[in-house]
């Protein structure tokens, strides 16, 4: 039986997470299915950021480093993030960007496995991870290599010459999910370390770094954590690795005693060793508003609603857009994908532009992928219904055929 709009409204009325929508600023007339790229704005961020500007910077000035806790932000936000991804306090820092954090972690991993030479990665990974690894290998001058494998072949490529397996848990295009426990176990079974990129995982589905025994992880603050544009990223180092190896971006915040102003570097023995320089405080403050909401929501409920939204979208696409040329590019079972669904279409770029003009915001990834993200804290079931109807209308009218914009549009 095909879902009706009334069915979707009924589901919204029964939705235990429905109240969270009111905590976000969402523009009128827009169905926002791109929270997997930039999360919506928590209303609390307006006041919080205004306070940091006017009171903490404007009034308290330099004293804010102590009296307003700026020094502790990487740790405080890190400890909050830890609760979302199954880490302990003191294992996560919020700092720098995803790529820079990955660089630190891969360098540390190679340092911990000096007799091995391979970084194993996914060939169709979000490019920045692969580029960062390539930059590191290039810099280290010939001792190391990157082995690329497809997601399907990955487990067979985890051999005993691998120093570190560096995987993005949720594929940025398809939303396919790696089994973190299984892949971590396979890496450890051959003596390799593993580093998880959680950019499309954190806040989207339950993650348990501790239970899976992961070594390292990075993740993004501006997607499902709703931390604001370019929000600082997080990094995770399991406690057993603290103080065991170096990372190369040895800024003063990573020193054992930054305020001793010693000439020579001595690394901290805690997670602090992964810091580098001073962090952008305004952007850190906004991220805390996003984390605060996420910590009040039940991650199991988020996952259940995420799967239900995706399944509804898939069912409605089948019911209403079956003949329009779309091919599902995501795993067909909700349990095997995270909080997004992708379809390919030969005219995907033009169709996505038309959708955006009609108020349904998803995004496009070359060459032909249309991505739709479902963020359970602020996406309603009825939004899914309306989005598919908008797409159906566009396909019926052929209004999508003339692209008017450049391709440089969304960010991951």
Segment 80 to 139, residues that bind its own copies, using CB under 8 A: 96-100, 103, 107, 123-124, 126-128, 130-132, 134-136, 138-139
User: Between 251 and 290, how does the x/- string for binding to its own copies read (CB under 8 A)?
Assistant: xxxxx--xxxxxxxx----------xxxxxxxxx-x----
Task: Give SS3 for 385.
Answer: helix
Active-site residue, 365 included: no
Q: Quote the crossing angle between the two packed helices 299-320 and 381-397, to the nearest 10°.
A: 30
Site for its own copies contains 306 (CB under 8 A): no
Active-site residue, 223 included: yes
DSSP string, 5-42: HHHHHHHHHH-TTGGGGGGEE--TT-EE--TTTSPPEE
Are 233 and 220 contacting, i.e. CB atoms less than 8 angstroms apart?
yes
Strand ranges of the sheet holding 327-328, from the earlier edge strand across to the other edge: 327-328, 340-344, 369-373, 363-365
DSSP state of 258: G
Site for its own copies contains 65 (CB under 8 A): yes
Nearest to 128 by CA among 97, 151, 156, 89: 97
Site for its own copies contains 175 (CB under 8 A): no
Cβ neighbours of residue 289 under 8 Å, at least 6 residues apart? 42, 44, 45, 48, 226, 227
Nearer to its own copies by Cβ, of 126 and 381: the residue is: 126
Shortest Cβ 203–its own copies spacing (Å)? 17
Catalytic residue among 20, 24, 172, 222: 222
| Residues in region 353-392 near its own copies by CB under 8 A | 356, 361, 363, 365-366
| Residues in region 33-62 near its own copies by CB under 8 A | 34, 37-38, 40-41, 45-46, 49-50, 52-54, 56-62
Active-site residue, 126 included: yes
Active-site residue, 222 included: yes
Shortest Cβ 402–its own copies spacing (Å)? 18
Binders of its own copies: how many residues, by CB under 8 A?
Answer: 100
Q: Is the peptide bond before 321 cis (omega within 30 degrees of 0)?
A: no
Active-site residue, 197 included: yes
């Amino acid at each position: 039986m095909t879902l009706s709009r009334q069915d979707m409204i009924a589901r919204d009325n029964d939705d235990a997470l429905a109240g969270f929508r009111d905590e976000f600023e969402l523009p009128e007339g827009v169905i926002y299915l791109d929270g997997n790229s930039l999360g919506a704005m928590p209303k609390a961020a307006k006041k919080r950021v205004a306070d940091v500007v006017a009171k903490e910077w404007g009034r308290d000035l330099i004293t804010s480093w102590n009296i307003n806790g700026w020094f502790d932000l990487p740790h405080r936000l890190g400890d909050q993030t830890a609760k979302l991804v199954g880490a302990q306090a003191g294992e996560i820092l919020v700092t720098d960007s995803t790529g820079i954090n990955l660089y630190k972690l891969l360098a540390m991993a190679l340092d911990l496995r000096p007799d091995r030479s391979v970084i194993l990665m996914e060939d169709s990974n979000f490019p920045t991870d692969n580029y960062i690894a390539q930059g590191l290998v290039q810099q280290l001058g010939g001792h190391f290599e990157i082995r690329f494998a497809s997601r399907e072949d990955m487990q067979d490529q985890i051999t005993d010459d691998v120093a570190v397996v560096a995987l993005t848990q949720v594929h940025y295009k398809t939303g396919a999910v790696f089994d973190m426990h299984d892949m971590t176990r396979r890496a450890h079974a051959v003596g390799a370390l593993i580093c998880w990129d959680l950019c499309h995982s954190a806040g989207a589905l339950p993650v348990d770094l501790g239970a899976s025994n992961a070594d390292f992880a990075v993740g993004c603050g501006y997607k499902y954590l709703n931390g604001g544009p370019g929000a600082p990223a997080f990094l995770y180092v399991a406690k057993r690795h603290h103080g065991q190896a170096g990372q190369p971006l040895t800024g003063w915040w990573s020193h054992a005693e930054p305020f001793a102003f010693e000439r020579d570097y001595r690394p901290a023995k805690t997670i602090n060793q992964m810091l580098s320089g001073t962090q952008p405080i305004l952007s850190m403050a906004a991220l805390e508003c996003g984390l605060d909401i996420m910590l009040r929501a039940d991650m199991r409920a988020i996952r259940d609603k995420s799967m239900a939204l995706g399944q509804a979208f898939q069912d409605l696409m089948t019911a209403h857009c079956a003949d329009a040329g779309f091919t599902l590019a995501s795993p067909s079972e909700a349990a095997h994908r995270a909080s997004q669904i992708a379809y390919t279409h030969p005219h995907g770029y033009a169709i996505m532009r038309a959708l955006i003009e009609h108020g349904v915001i998803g995004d496009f990834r070359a060459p032909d992928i249309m991505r739709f993200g479902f963020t359970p804290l602020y996406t309603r079931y009825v939004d899914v219904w309306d989005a598919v109807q908008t797409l159906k209308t566009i396909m019926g009218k052929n209004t999508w055929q003339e692209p008017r914009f450049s391709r440089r549009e969304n960010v991951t």
